[in-house]
Amino acid sequence: MRAFTCVPRQHRLASGENEAWRQQLNGLQQITYALHTSLFPLDPYLASMPLPPMTGHLEPRRRLSQAARTGKLPQVLLVTGPAGIGKQRLALWLAQLVLCLHPAGEPCGRCRSCRLVADLAHADVHWFVPILRPKAAEAGKQIEEAAEALAVVMEERRAKPLYPQPDGMAGHPIAVVRLLQRSAGLTSVEGGRRVYIVGEAERLVPQESSQEAANALLKLLEEPPPGSLFVLTSVDARRLLPTMRSRAVPVRLNRLSDAEVGEFLRQQLDPAPSPGELAERVALGAGSIGQALRAGEESDKAYRAAGQLLEAILQGTGPTLERALKQAPWSARGEFTAMLDALADTLGEAARESLGQPTRRPVPPALRRRSDPTPLLKAMEHVAEAREAAWGNVNPQILLAVLGQDLAEAL
């Protein structure tokens, strides 16, 4: 992926001012990138290929390929479908397709462009994933912090292609959208199309408790720059602003077959699962590779712990303090932060249900049928504060007791 260049505020690339400066910057980027790829060439036999293989979704791929060949591929696509079925992987497949030097029905997978995309190293492919909100107060510093956070995530995904779900408190804050806007104002490094992927685009709204980030992105989608391709992914289109949905052409992905999920697990899991374990994971996956990979892992434990905490909080002060005392007074990271992430996600699901939107996971009975999402969003803010504090030298027992009191007042 392209290394983001943070441009000083006095240089507004999209405004048309300082055209000479814009050309100089683009030239410098192209020279820098050319030097990098010439000094460190990607040998087709030695270069790492971190992307897992594209699995299933043959009919949507056929339609997208045909649209690309005939010049009818829309500039803004919204890919929806259940969690863990490969929506963002399809977006990267599409990036390979439109940038492939020898395109056919599928990306060739061997040319320089295909290999760069597979290595998450193509200068004209920008993958925006949920990150934690920048801590800086000044807008320019926020953008720099967001760029650094995205670069770290890309490095992690190169090292671990079968990546876990993003942090429960991660989202697409306004700094990320401003970074995207600045990137869209630059010309292509390779001279072809530029591809912008916004994974889990539904996190534009709830994590900000407002529509600022979503509205900022909407302005870009209304008039996408020439030669650009925007691919947004979401579990459900209804989680995005109606105005944003109206600017995008929908691409719906269904669940994968058990055979496709099983074949993926056989090829990618190391060590290889036993036949019994494989069958169990495929069954638990229910057509979702992501769900199958997480089956039997710590995620279910974290959500159970979050549900038990919410139940104790809603029962009163006594049960809340009793639950806090059960928490080990050390190691605020690991299982404790996983529980906080699950707690934030559970509250977010309850907020979506209160707005009449579909949910990904069951909402605890005590949080159902609420007509106002405001208390739930306030509770999410308290969890975010506790999540940040957990990264410091704190006592998890005390932190959980304080959080329980805050959540009881909010809910």
Q: Are residues 112 and 200 in the same domain?
A: yes
Report the candidate in 332, 336, 330, 366 with the shortest Cα–Cα distance to residue 350. Answer: 366
Q: Are residues 29 and 173 in the same domain?
A: yes
CA dist 295 and 365 (Å) reads 24
Q: What's the pLDDT at 120? A: 93
Q: Are residues 130 and 73 in the same domain?
A: yes
Q: What's the pLDDT at 189? A: 92
CATH number at residue 95: 3.40.50.300
What is the per-residue pLDDT across 163-222, written as a single tens digit (0 to 9) for each?
A: 888 876 788 888 999 999 999 988 899 888 999 999 999 888 544 445 677 777 888 899
CA dist 2 and 182 (Å) reads 13
User: At 190, which amino acid appears?
Assistant: E
Q: What's the pLDDT at 392? A: 63
Which residues sit opposite 171 in a β-bridge? Answer: 131
CA dist 370 and 154 (Å) reads 38
Answer yes or no: is 26 within a domain. yes
Answer yes or no: is 7 within a domain. no
Q: Are residues 24 and 145 in the same domain?
A: yes
In this structure, the number of other CB atoms found within 10 A of the CB of residue 16 comes to: 9
Q: Are residues 70 and 155 in the same domain?
A: yes
Stretches where the chain sits below pLDDT 50 are 3-49, 206-209
In this structure, the number of other CB atoms found within 10 A of the CB of residue 23 comes to: 11
Q: Are residues 138 and 209 in the same domain?
A: yes
In the chain the first and final C-alpha atoms are separated, in Å, by 42
Q: How wide is the angle at C-alpha 208 spanned by C-alphas 205 and 212, nearest 5°?
A: 70
Domain boundary among 294, 318, 353: 294
Question: Is the distance from CB of 87 to CB of 77 less than 8 angstroms?
Answer: no
Token pair, residue 369, equals 């049928």
Q: What's the pLDDT at 152? A: 93
Answer yes or no: is 4 within a domain. no
Q: What's the pLDDT at 50? A: 67
CA dist 403 and 393 (Å) reads 16
Q: Are residues 28 and 158 in the same domain?
A: yes
Q: What's the pLDDT at 48? A: 45
DSSP 8-state class, residue 358: -
User: At 290, which amino acid appears?
Assistant: G
Report the candidate in 266, 185, 173, 281 with the shortest Cα–Cα distance to residue 226. Answer: 185
Answer yes or no: is 326 within a domain. yes
Q: What's the pLDDT at 271? A: 85
Q: What's the pLDDT at 70? A: 94
What is the domain range of residue 282?
258-294
